[in-house]
Amino acid sequence: MNSPELFSIAFLIIGSLLLYFGADSLVKGSTRLAINLGITPIIIGLTVVAFGTSAPELIVSLSAGYQGNAEIALGNVIGSNICNIALILGLSSLIRPVEFHLKYVNKDFWIMIIASIAVLIMSLDGDLDMWDGAILTLGIVSYVLYNIKKSKDENLEIELEEVTGKTKFKDKNIFHVLLLIVGLVILMMGANLFLEGAVNIAKYLGLSNVIIGLTIVALGTSLPELAVSVVASIKKESDISLGNVIGSNIFNLLMILGVTSIFFPIGANDISLVDIGIMIFTSLIIVPLGMRGNKFSRLDGAFLLLIYIGYMYYLFTYGSLPQV
């Protein structure tokens, strides 16, 4: 392996670390600022935290579009959503069974499925254009407004300590603003390094930008979700894992693809029906697996991990098969 390839791997690793720490700083700064400003925890959890853990995917997708590699965005989202369920939920369940109560996630679950099918339909003409992006963006705005109304109607509360650290924030707001800005700057730096490394590796291996988006980029940008879910399982707060996965998948489909395609049309010709089909399948399988005993058992976790391993094998072996 030549020096350029080694540099690309180094960029990929450093970029991944910057994406992780940038997202962590962004979530902590924005959450603490929101609490100090009197915003209720449920709204913070459904908006700020969900946005924060999806921020790496958004920054990477926008950067890819700006650099003329917008197709990475679609691969990134589809790959991240498969990763969130098959790898992250699978690994979390393997560590400790994850509780599942359909009544708490029923509407969110179906929103995730509908959003997945909508992206499939929009991709059939070969790209996601500005109008597709506007529809998806309208969807995420409606979803956030719905959850805000729901929180007011039901007077719900959530625990943020496991996700963002201690909730007793008495620091000055200026510190939280700086923390938020630092997080965004680190995210952008990480995205540029990560993308440069990923694209160079793709060229070296002879892989398409979509394949690299479905694999390396998807895994790298899912680091915040992976960290939150695994730590939640270790701390016996497994319900956070499921909420984190479903919420992140909705934001990925609606916000990331929506915002990115408004500014940069996303080519979908290299995305296969198998990729989108596996994303929808892994989303649908949540209910039958979880309803058996109201939890995802370690056996369920192993099954989900096998799906992810099998999908990775498919990508690197038959990744060029049938396209949308």
Give the Cα-Cα-Cα angle 214, 24, 196 (nearest 5 degrees).
Answer: 40
Alpha-carbon gap, residue 106 to 108, rounded angstroms = 6
Give the model's pLDDT for residue 321: 42
User: Is 102 strand, coil or helix?
Assistant: helix
Q: Which residues pair with 296 in a beta bridge?
A: 98
Q: What is the pLDDT of residue 162?
A: 44
In whole angstroms, give the CA distance from residue 161 to residue 176.
16
pLDDT of residue 238: 60
Query: Can you tell me which residue has the tokens 């998806």?
Result: 136
**One-letter amino acid identity for 128?**
L
pLDDT tens for the chain, residues 1 to 324:
567 778 888 888 898 888 778 777 776 777 677 667 666 554 565 566 667 777 778 888 888 888 888 888 888 899 999 999 999 889 888 888 887 777 767 788 899 999 999 999 998 888 899 999 999 999 999 988 887 776 666 544 444 444 444 444 455 678 878 887 888 788 778 877 887 888 788 778 777 777 888 888 888 778 777 776 776 677 666 666 677 788 889 999 999 999 999 999 888 776 778 889 999 999 999 888 877 777 888 999 999 999 999 999 988 887 644 444
Domains and their CATH numbers in the chain: 3-318 (1.20.1420.30)
What region, left, alpha or beta, does residue 296 occupy, with left being phi > 0 and alpha being psi -120 to 50 degrees? Answer: beta
Q: Note the pLDDT of residue 9.
A: 85
d(CA 262, CA 260): 5
Q: What angle do CA 86, 209, 187 make, to 5 degrees?
A: 70
* Helix/strand/coil for 156: coil
Enter the tokens of residue 220: 């790298």
| Model pLDDT, residue 270 | 67
Task: Tell me if 65 sits within 8 A of 258, measured CB to CB.
Answer: no
- Alpha-carbon distance 16 to 271, whole Å? 24
The whole-number pLDDT of residue 164 equals: 46
Burial status of residue 106 (CB atoms within 10 A of its CB: 0-12, 13-18, 19 or more)? exposed
Q: Residue type for 207, please?
A: L
Q: Is 127 helix (H, G, I), strand (E, B) or coil?
A: strand
CB 31 within 8 A of CB 49: yes
